[in-house]
Structure 1
Amino acid sequence: MELAEQIERDIGTLVDKHRRAALESPSRKETLLHWLATIDTPTSTLKKRRRVMTWDKLNTRIQQGYGMGHGADYQPWLTLRRKNSSRESNQVAAHLHPLHRPGYFFSRGEYQIALLLLWLGIHDLREQYPLWPIAHPHPLYGAPGTDGLQLGYCTGLLDIAAEAGIEHGHFPGTDIPYVATIDFLVTVRDGSDFDLVAISCKPIEDPAQEVKWRTLERLELERRYAERNGIRYLIISSRFVPILMAGQLEWCMERASLADTPHLAQSVLGFSREFTSAPNLAVSDAVARASESQQLSLEEGWAVFRHCAWTQAIDIDLSTPLLTSYPARRSGRTLRERLRRSLFEGRAK
């Protein structure tokens, strides 16, 4: 948790600075007197007080580990709460079985892209990842297996924004620099080599579609942050994953891990071999046959099948309709490898 401790120290310094400034401000007493004067006001005439960020709240969130960690220990900077619901998109909170933790997505498109990324076999996925306004340790810092890497510090987004001549932004109603987030920060591992891919998921369907100027500025800041820190940067349409494929991926992801059922995990190799030995059998018949060979109930057999489809222990194309009364369509492994190359090949310089 060195990252958390370092960020906490830096933010803590800012908290103390602003607390002292507030206490020494000539208007402090007047503000307190005005606040006290409102106590006796009838509640019917009081307006609902707007929740705003404070330096203490910001420090508390960092102490609690939001925006930090790796794998199952990661906590997104933003989570779904009633006050940040959206009228324009379906927000999703779902358990990410491959990562053994809950995930929070601010649109269904984000969730569907997360399903695809996990199916591609990435090492780690961190949604709603903070691009800290101040200098901070590299996003890979503290990840298992990176002890020998010389990662160094990252430039804060405040400085990057100043260099670009783009307004960084503040929390509404405050002078506290906003903590911007990127939709996904993906870790791809090949042996001892680690690569990061930053992905911005936006509802852009047509390259000619007009995009708000502020959105373009935010995307440019994300791009510059990634470039400065040697991270590959992608912008993906929220419609990138077909609904059919997303649904089938979600169905299979529930059995991505068989850690809680070791007897099923031991049957995967034999099950997949028996299933693929009869390529002309309908999926339902092949599952029944493979289940019997491993002395599994039919229900257990379908659980193993879903696991094999997710891991591609059985080569099956999840981008096409999975019709159980027909033989399985192959080429899922080819599709997965092609997508991995298109999204993750090439290292940012």
Structure 2
Amino acid sequence: MARKRYSFDEDKIARFQKEGRGEGTGASYKPWLTIQDVPSTGRSHRLRGWTTGRIHHLLSDIECGLFYLFDWSESVRDIREQFPLDRPTTQRIAEQLGIKHSVDIATKTPLVMTTDIVVDVVREGRFVTLARAVKPADQLDKPRTIEKLEIERRYWSERGVDWGIVTERDIPTTIIRNVAWVHNFRSLDDLSQPHPGYLAEKAALVVREVEGWPADQPLRHFCGAMDTHLAMPPGTCLMLIRHLLATKAITCNMSEPLDDTASLQRFRAVSSGLGRAAG
């Protein structure tokens, strides 16, 4: 029963196409595969993106880490995961290479191949598309993995798109952990507050105070004092700091470990006040 649930035949592929899977951009994009469509072989993640405003379906920790990097970047304009490749094209490339095209084990139906993450970025004032295959490093010495990656590489090469492979060795662990620490706090809209705008008002006060305190104090001491000074429930200031970092109203070096023990000297308020929009 489980195998049948995840199997693909022509009817299922046609249904996915009718549903608009793999189409759209930004908030309207629908990934070809969601975490419900594939058997679990590791940790999967559903995260609401800052760049797109939609829920992203990430099928591994490495995909999740790469997503955090792209979502944090100011140059990225769109992120599309589980991006489908045109099946007749990948079948042609496989035939030219003398490689077997991917098929469903149960139905023998040729599968729609996908690229794990496709992003649009701004480089030197123009939009550029990047396609990235995400694989564990220990998979790259397997002949069948290399064959499928070669199909993917040639597919994107024909389209003039920058394609590459990302493994866990390419992911800056500390930066990823720091972005993950603040990622869920970009928006305050869904949080309970005494009145509309309450948390935004308190956040603005925290921004003004952060650089006025002794630089050698740890963040937790500042936050405890601010909770008392601004008559906020314990833990509110730390949550607001994470929000301010997420919206880039406060900046710090994200390549160094970040938590409530970090020294205040690492934080700098952006002169324009609130940074990246939190809508």
TM-score of the pair, normalised by structure 1? 0.62
Structure 2 residue 11 is the aligned partner of structure 1 residue 59: no
How far apart are residue 181 of structure 1 and its match? Answer: 0.8
Partner of 2:70: 117
SS at match of 2:16: helix
Q: Which moved more, 1:226-235 or 1:177-186?
A: 226-235
State the alpha-carbon separation in 1 of the partners of residues 33 and 230 from structure 2. 44
Whether the 8 Å contact between 2:84 and 2:113 is mirrored in structure 1 is yes
Pair 1:317–1:218, CA change in 2 (3 A):
same
State the alpha-carbon separation in 1 of the partners of residues 2 and 257 from structure 2. 51
Which of 182, 189, 200 is 1:252 aligned to?
182
Point out the structure with max Rg over C-alpha: 1
Whether the 8 Å contact between 1:283 and 1:324 is mirrored in structure 2 is yes
Structure 2 residue 119 is the aligned partner of structure 1 residue 186: yes
Partner of 1:161: 94
TM-score of the pair, normalised by structure 2? 0.76
Whether the 8 Å contact between 2:227 and 2:233 is mirrored in structure 1 is yes
Pair 1:73–1:49, CA change in 2 (3 A):
closer
State the alpha-carbon separation in 2 of the partners of residues 235 and 94 from structure 1. 22
State the alpha-carbon separation in 2 of the partners of residues 75 and 82 from structure 1. 13
- Letter of the 1:225 partner, please give it: Y
Structure 2 residue 53 is the aligned partner of structure 1 residue 100: yes
Whether the 8 Å contact between 1:93 and 1:102 is mirrored in structure 2 is no
Pairwise mapping of residues 115-264 of structure 1 onto structure 2 (< 5 A)? Answer: 115-121=68-74, 122-134=76-88, 156-174=89-107, 176-189=109-122, 193-204=126-137, 211-260=141-190, 263=197, 264=199
How far apart are residue 242 of structure 1 and its match? Answer: 5.0
- Letter of the 1:218 partner, please give it: K
State the alpha-carbon separation in 2 of the partners of residues 323 and 210 from structure 1. 35
SS at match of 1:84: coil
State the alpha-carbon separation in 2 of the partners of residues 327 and 118 from structure 1. 26
Pair 1:296–1:234, CA change in 2 (3 A):
farther
State the alpha-carbon separation in 1 of the partners of residues 81 and 210 from structure 2. 36
State the alpha-carbon separation in 2 of the partners of residues 317 and 286 from structure 1. 18
What per-residue deviation string (whole Å, max 9, x for no partner) do you get for residues 243-275 of structure 1?
A: 554333222100123454672346655533431
- Letter of the 1:101 partner, please give it: R
How far apart are residue 226 of structure 1 and its match? Answer: 1.9
SS at match of 1:103: strand
How far apart are residue 71 of structure 1 and its match? Answer: 2.2
SS at match of 1:308: helix
Whether the 8 Å contact between 2:121 and 2:128 is mirrored in structure 1 is yes
Equivalenced residue count is: 259
SS at match of 1:123: strand
Root mean square deviation of aligned Cα:
3.4
State the alpha-carbon separation in 2 of the partners of residues 94 and 48 from structure 1. 22
Pairwise mapping of residues 13-28 of structure 1 onto structure 2 (< 5 A)? Answer: none
Structure 2 residue 78 is the aligned partner of structure 1 residue 78: no
Partner of 1:138: none
Partner of 2:222: 286
Calculate percent identity across the aligned residue pairs. Answer: 29
